[in-house]
Amino acid sequence: MSDLRLELKEKIIKQLNLEDLSVEDIQNDDFLFGDEIGLDSIDALELIVMLEKDFGIKLTDPAQGKEVFTSIETLAQFIEKNA
């Protein structure tokens, strides 16, 4: 697992208080929103804050967020491209 993907999983578990999940429970392609990981709209806002605070990336287009936050893999690719 790449360091960035592992880092993202650790950050998401910590910052979103996903106490019942461990890094091993989140696969790179799991849907973050919906049945698999179960994030909600407030979590989406937290992820936007995390992108800006930890990676210096401002997400300004809401439509873009839907694709970027699909999974750990899409999020990592977006960061690699824009950081």
Partner 1 sequence: MKRDWYITSSVKLKKHQIFKDDELIFKTEPHISTQDFLKEAYRFFGINYPKFHKMDVLCKLGMIASCVLKEEYPKDTALVFQNASSSEVSDTQHQESIHNFPSPATFVYTLPNIVMGELSIKHELQSENAFFVAEDFQAQFIQNYTQSLLEQKKASAAICGWLEANLDDYYLFLNYIEPRGMHIFSAETLLEKYTQ
Q: What angle do CA 10, 50, 66 make, to 5 degrees?
A: 95
Q: Work out the burial of residue 43: count CB atoms within 10 Å of its CB; fewer than 13 is exposed, 13-18 middle, 19 or more buried.
A: buried
CA distance 65 to 74: 10
Closest CB 52 distance from partner 1, rounded Å: 7
Residue 2 beta carbon to partner 1: minimum distance, rounded to whole angstroms? 25
**Applying CB under 8 A, which part among 1-9, 48-56, 57-65, 69-77 lies near partner 1?**
48-56
Which residue, 1 or 40, has its beta carbon nearer to partner 1? 40
Footprint on this chain of partner 1 (rule: CB under 8 A): 16-20, 38, 42-43, 45-46, 49, 52-53
